[in-house]
Amino acid sequence: MEIPYTVTARPDTGLWNAKVGIWLFLASEVMLFGGLFSAYVFLRLDAAPGAWPHGLLNVPVGTMNTAILIASSVTVVMAWASLKMRKFRAYWWYMLVTILCGVTFLVVKLAYEWPQKFDHFGAFIKKDALEKYEPFLGNHHLAEKGLAPRTEISGHLHHENAQEYEIALDPVNADPTNPLMDRPHFLPLSHTEKIAKIEKADVEYANMFLPKHSAYFASYFTITGLHGLHVLGGVIVFTYLWLPVGTKLYKRNPEHLANRVEVAGLFWHFVDLVWIFVFPLFYLL
Amino acid sequence: MNESHEPVLAEATAAAAGEEVSHDEHTAHDVSKHIRGYLMVGGTLLLFTGITVALSYVNFGTQKANVAVAMVVATFKACLVAAIFMHLASEKRMIYRILIFTFFFVFGLFWLTYLAWYDPITR
């Protein structure tokens, strides 16, 4: 069966069918991400002072990934424009760059950013034991400045036995009264050589930086995970359109390929648009 | 891809010029006029990504103020993507009709979130 209105406009809608289809799909996508973002807003507004972490993600790498996604949005719109101008070779190259951008984004996310978090450890200290760990928390210093208190000691988990954790401290806990530690850093600082022993009896809750670590990481991994799946989906569709299948379709009906690229591109721009909100909310604020 | 494809593709181009372009709202000439715009929007988005990062290290008084500033910049960037890259600046009415519903429900969703947090009934 021939699918109607792939190139020409349907008289009642004034649009070729796939365009209406993709916009209906994107409308449902807005609700999907909207639900997750509203959960994020709710969790964040309800968090106790100091309980919502700041500066745990790698800002330069996040900025680079943002730039990569923006660049890929430009190349996909250029790929579509090239098809419209019947410049197939240009289309082929723009599409290749788009695919490579998408793959780079995913590799950075899955092979670099996420594993670093899985390897990072944090222990939340019980309220009545906070004073005991003051040298690592610097809460007197923060209170003087009117800043929210710290309740977590984090770093690299060196050693663990039945009674205590040994942590190679993050700079923020190694030197907590240094004014430089009051705000997150642009360049990520790796953990120090300073080791702290924390008794398990004093720990409310301890975990690696996994989704169950906190509401922050739960929402971070859920939203960036779902976003990553969208990037993967886009890369698969682009690859299909870039392979010889696309060339064949171009020879048969170039306008049909241009429309397919436009629809895939609309999806890709939406994925870029979601990231525009994810980046500041999770990396910067 | 190799050179041998070129003549075939050129034929497709010629065939298409006769059949399809006449149906289409974006002619090749139309599209070529927009390319500069697409590149400039890309550049603006990159610039504003830098601005977002820089502003996050400026203290606007409260954390809420910083979030508000970042969201204003993000919304501006999102509008650029939607208007130019997604062609929403000049779309058919059907698309706007779909999006009015989307906007309504998303707004409702965040309004409910706000109500749940503000809790006007039990407070």
pLDDT digits (tens, 9 = 90+) for A156-182: 998 899 999 999 999 999 999 998 888
* Residue B40 touches chain A, beta carbons under 8 Å: no
Banded model confidence at residue A99, pLDDT cuts 50, 70, 90? very high
User: Which residues of chain B have a CB within 8 Å of the CB of A146?
Assistant: none
pTM tops 0.80, yes or no:
yes
Residue A14 has pLDDT above 50, yes or no: yes
Residue A267 confidence (pLDDT): 98
Residue A119 confidence (pLDDT): 93
Across the interface, whether the CB atoms of A269 and B34 are under 8 A apart is answered no
Percentage of chain A surpassing pLDDT 90? Answer: 84
Residue A218 has pLDDT above 70, yes or no: yes
Cβ contacts below 8 Å, chain A against chain B, sum to 160
Amino acid (one-letter) located at A60: P
Burial class (CB in 10 A: 0-12, 13-18, 19+), A248: exposed
Residue A197, strand partner residues: A166
The alpha-carbon gap from A136 to the nearest alpha carbon of chain B, in Å, equals 24
Most confident segment among A34-43, A220-229, B2-11, B61-70: A220-229
Across the interface, whether the CB atoms of A284 and B46 are under 8 A apart is answered no
Query: Which two three-digit tokens encode residue A215?
Result: 């509401």
Which of B8, B45, B102 minimises the CB distance to A30?
Answer: B102
User: Which residues of chain B have a CB within 8 Å of the CB of A29?
Assistant: none
Distances (CA, A) of A8 to A99, B28, B54: 28, 16, 47
Q: Which CATH superfamily is domain A55-118+214-284 in?
A: Cytochrome c oxidase, subunit III, four-helix bundle (1.20.120.80)
**Section A105-122 average pLDDT:** 95
Residue of B29, B34, B53 to mutate for A, most A C-beta atoms under 10 A: B53
**Section A49-69 average pLDDT:** 91
Across the interface, whether the CB atoms of B117 and A265 are under 8 A apart is answered no
Instruction: Please check whether residue A209 is in contact with residue A56, taking contact to mean a CB–CB distance below 8 angstroms.
Output: yes
* Residue A182 touches chain B, beta carbons under 8 Å: no
User: Which residues of chain A have a CB within 8 Å of the CB of B74?
Assistant: 276-277, 279-280
Which of A66, A71, A84 minimises the CB distance to B42?
Answer: A71
Residue B7 confidence (pLDDT): 44
Residue in A133, A182, A128 with CA at minimum distance from that of residue A153 = A133
d(CA A250, CA A80): 12
Amino acid (one-letter) located at A251: K
Residue B101 confidence (pLDDT): 94
Matching residue, tokens 């780079």: A104
Residue B25 confidence (pLDDT): 53
Residue A154, strand partner residues: A122
Q: Which residue of B has its CA nearest to A29?
A: B102
Q: Which residue of A has its CA nearest to B9?
A: A251
Orientation of helix A244-252 relative to helix B5-19, angle to 10°: 40
**Section B63-76 average pLDDT:** 92
Q: Which residue of B has its CA nearest to A255?
A: B20
Q: What is the mean pLDDT of chain B?
A: 81
d(CA A79, CA A90): 7
Sign of the Cα pseudo-torsion (A162, A166, A170, A172, in order): positive
pLDDT digits (tens, 9 = 90+) for B82-121: 999 999 998 899 999 999 999 999 999 999 988 887 777 7
User: Which residues of chain A have a CB within 8 Å of the CB of B50?
Assistant: 63
d(CA A100, CA A97): 5
* ipTM summary value: 0.91
Percent of chain A as helix, strand, coil, to the nearest 5:
65, 10, 25
Query: Can you give the residue ranges of every domain in chain A?
Result: 55-118+214-284, 121-208
Residue A53 has pLDDT above 60, yes or no: yes
Phi-psi region of A206 (alpha: psi -120 to 50; beta: other; left: phi over 0): beta
Residue A220 confidence (pLDDT): 96
Across the interface, whether the CB atoms of B20 and A277 are under 8 A apart is answered no
* Residue B34 touches chain A, beta carbons under 8 Å: yes
Residue A45 confidence (pLDDT): 86
Q: Range with the lowest mean pLDDT among A44-53, A218-227, B65-74?
A: A44-53
Coil vs helix vs strand at B26: coil
d(CA A24, CA A32): 13
Instruction: Please check whether residue A274 is in contact with residue A33, taking contact to mean a CB–CB distance below 8 angstroms.
Output: yes
Residue B10 confidence (pLDDT): 45
Between B108 and B23, the higher pLDDT residue: B108
Strand intervals (E) in A74-127: 121-125
Q: What is the mean pLDDT of chain A?
A: 93
